[in-house]
Chain A
Amino acid sequence: MSTMTYREACKQAIRQCLLEEPRAFMMGEDIGDYGGCYGVTKGLLAEFGPGRIRDAPLAESGFVGAGVGAAMGGMRPIVEIMTCNFALLALDQLINNAATLRHMSGGKVGVPLVVRMATGGGRQLAAQHSHSFEGWFAHVPGLRILVPATVTDARHMLRTALREADPVLLFEHVFLYTMEGELDDTVKAVDIDKAAIRRPGKDLSILTSGNTVWKSLEAATALASDGIDVEVVDLRVLRPLDDETIMASVKKTHRVLVVDEGWRSGGISAELFARVCEQAFDELDAAPMRVCTAEVPIPYPKHLEDAALPQPATIAAAARQVLGRSGRMPRA
């Protein structure tokens, strides 16, 4: 085990990809001299040169589309978008092209494109830099949606993603970049199919991803002191969802709480509810609940931002509520 920041893990992942794969290159805004808006690519320009650490103008649709074309042309682009909020400027290329071309061409054209972007709130960046769109992108067939929450996942997911034949979008939570964590040196590769159990438990399953994995673990610690044993499932892959791991957890605990930094209405939380109902309804001992971001653009002041986002205390309270519902739906 060694200690590393999440930011450093992201950077080492990129380095490894560029060292191993001659067709890999990076493209994005201010990733060169500036070192990336969250400092992930600092130093890479000196190591790999401007051909492979390619600063792009402020033209998200243009350079994401160039990534699509370069991938079609045999390269392995890693495109960085500053935040997922700016990715909305590239929706045409991400959805109409990257996600669609393989099918539309009858399988003739593949787009092995990796796009990394920051997501999430908590740094008082207000309503155009703080939203979480990973659940939204998970709606689209043809895309694979990854949400690395741990240093180990940040270190290793990218490499697996770069070997995919189809587009992969990675969402790195802004709050996690400065997080120090243990890097498991024995891990040399991470799959991008399976959810991971971050804390095993028997009373309640929390299904979550990204920064709320850590908030959920904090809530679980608090609940443990009251004898409540929570299982925290880090979904890691929002598309395709790992139904197997999710349902196995539900069958073990019989209670579900979904925690999602996306908005509640029409979000991935609703999708998780639906799947649990479709696949494991009879296993439920209580109606599931969810803690999501309040249905408001993220406000700037800290107290309002904190109130808008899922927090350990609100997660713990919701968990108690789900457990308190036991008995309303007695098991036959």
Chain B
Amino acid sequence: MSADDATTLDPDDARRLYEQMVLIRRFEERCVELYGQGHIRGFMHLYDGQEAIAVGMCEALIPEDGIVATYREHGQALAKGVPPGEIMAELYGKQEGSSGGRGGSMHIFDTNRFFYGGNAIVAGGLPVAVGLALADKMLGRHRVTVCFFGEGAVAEGEFHESLNLASLWRLPVVFVCENNLYAMGSALHHDEAGTDVAARAKGYAMAAQQVDGMDLMAVLQAGRRAVNMARQGAPVLLEMRTYRFRAHSMFDAQSYRDKAEVERFKQRDPIPGFFRFAQGLGVLDDSDLDVIEGRVRRVVDDAVAFAAAGHFESVQTLLRGVVAERPAHLSTTGNGGVA
């Protein structure tokens, strides 16, 4: 697939991208069931409706590129290649999970895939992404760090501090604001005097673009352009206009929006939207759907089986992993404090 061409699509790419979005959707549908059955607890935030963003952005990356995400990060983790079984085991709190079970739904980490969490403080991941990019620049690695966050983060000081730092130091970061219109229950116009998120970049001399986040091809095009720019040392802010179909978390009566609005956005569901587009190009057809759904079902079944067969860590090791085990030569003894 060429970088800027939205009219051609390789059939293999089309199937793969479609399948990734379906995997995220089905994986999370199963999460809801498992939550109801008590296998998953705590806060869990779902990504339904926003799948095109994770899949499109990850498609624009090389494997060594890094991701810093939020507590709504199942989608990015799956798209970045974190094994579904390890994600599900993490949601179960099992030690086979991607964070050994210590993190849960909001804190998925996988350094082999350069997936740096799972940060549940709104905007808390932005400075970290800046730092990862700073390390890459200082070490001469040509990696890009993609930092995902919601539009609620725009109200936080760390958003502004991070955009300024990244632009000032010419760091390889792509800031991806997933503007799903509601920060928990607060609409953008309820919290922000200016509701044009992309326009904020101007104050930091940074390039920005507003993107239809429900359109995989639009995300992919904008993502490729932004990643290329960032790799040259020009950070970019992408405002992805999107919508989450489900509640903010598992404890949300959704009193802040009406059902008609949700239904209206569901008409723009990125998964059937992409299917229609690919079908129009003649690279996907109905016969692919069953095959893909079947494959995804097996992946999700396997993930659940892996999690269910996993083990809860012994309380004997409760205190492990707060700090690194110290090498013997650092554990000095004797008085006077001289090593």
Contact = CB atoms under 8 A, between A and B. Distances in A.
Interface of A: 23, 25, 51, 56-57, 59, 61-75, 77, 92-93, 96-97, 101-110, 141-142, 144, 153, 160, 163-166, 187, 189-191, 193-197, 234, 236, 245, 248
Interface stretch (B125-133, B187-195, B267-275): B125-133
Residue among A62, A68, A97, A107 with the highest chain B CB neighbour number at 10 A: A62
Given A61-B127, A65-B128, A69-B127, 7 more contacts: A59-B165, A65-B124, A65-B126, A92-B158, A108-B110, A142-B322, A194-B334
18 contacts: A56-B165, A62-B161, A66-B128, A66-B162, A70-B134, A72-B128, A73-B131, A73-B132, A73-B134, A73-B136, A103-B322, A104-B107, A105-B102, A108-B99, A109-B117, A165-B324, A191-B339, A194-B332
Contacts of B338: 187, 189-191
Interface of B: 66, 68, 97-103, 107, 109-111, 116-119, 121, 124, 126-136, 138-139, 157-158, 161-162, 164-165, 168, 320-324, 330-339
Contacts of B331: 193
Contacts of B107: 104-105
B131 A66 contact: yes
B109 A105 contact: yes
A187 B339 CA distance: 8
Contacts of B121: 92, 96-97
Contacts of B117: 101, 104-105, 109
B259 to A, nearest CB: 35
Contact of B157 (A61, A77, A106): A61
A103 B111 CA distance: 14
A23 B66 CA distance: 20
Contacts of A103: 102, 321-322
Contacts of A248: 335
A241 to B, nearest CB: 13
Contact of A66 (B97, B127, B333): B127
Main secondary structure of the interface of B (DSSP, over half): mixed
Contacts of A64: 127
B128 A69 contact: yes
Given A75-B138, A108-B99, A109-B116, A102 B323 contact: yes
Contacts of A65: 124, 126-128, 130-131, 158, 161-162
Contact of B131 (A72, A102, A193): A72
B173 to A, nearest CB: 10
A93 B126 CA distance: 10
B158 A61 contact: yes
Q: Closest 9 interchain pairs by CB? A: A69-B131, A65-B127, A73-B135, A106-B100, A62-B161, A105-B109, A165-B324, A59-B161, A196-B337
Contacts of B127: 61-66, 68-69, 93
Nearest to B109: A105
A57 B128 CA distance: 16
A74 B139 CA distance: 8
B111 A25 contact: no
A96 B102 contact: no
B124 A92 contact: yes
A213 B324 CA distance: 30
Contacts of A61: 127, 157-158, 161
Nearest to B338: A187
Contacts of B132: 69-70, 72-73
A67 B131 contact: yes
Contacts of A194: 332-337
Nearest to A142: B322
A39 to B, nearest CB: 25
Contact of B165 (A63, A105, A144): A63
A259 B196 CA distance: 54
Contacts of A196: 335-337
A163 B332 CA distance: 14
Nearest to A200: B335
A189 B329 CA distance: 12
Given A105-B117, A142-B322, A196-B336, A69 B161 contact: no
A75 B100 CA distance: 25
A168 to B, nearest CB: 10
A53 to B, nearest CB: 13
A109 B321 CA distance: 10
A320 B183 CA distance: 60
A45 B54 CA distance: 41
Nearest to B110: A108
Contact of A69 (B135, B324, B337): B135
Given A67-B131, A69-B133, A62 B165 contact: yes
Contacts of A166: 323-324
B111 A109 contact: yes
A174 B117 CA distance: 37
Contacts of B158: 61-62, 65, 92
A144 B322 CA distance: 11
A109 B132 CA distance: 12
B324 A110 contact: yes
A51 B138 contact: yes
Nearest to A152: B338
Contacts of B135: 69-75
Nearest to A73: B135
Residue among A65, A165, A191 with the highest chain B CB neighbour number at 10 A: A65
B332 A191 contact: yes
B253 to A, nearest CB: 28
A103 B103 CA distance: 8
Contacts of A63: 127, 161, 165
Nearest to B117: A105
B124 A96 contact: yes
Contacts of A74: 135, 139
Contacts of B133: 69, 73
Residue among B116, B124, B131, B335 with the highest chain A CB neighbour number at 10 A: B131
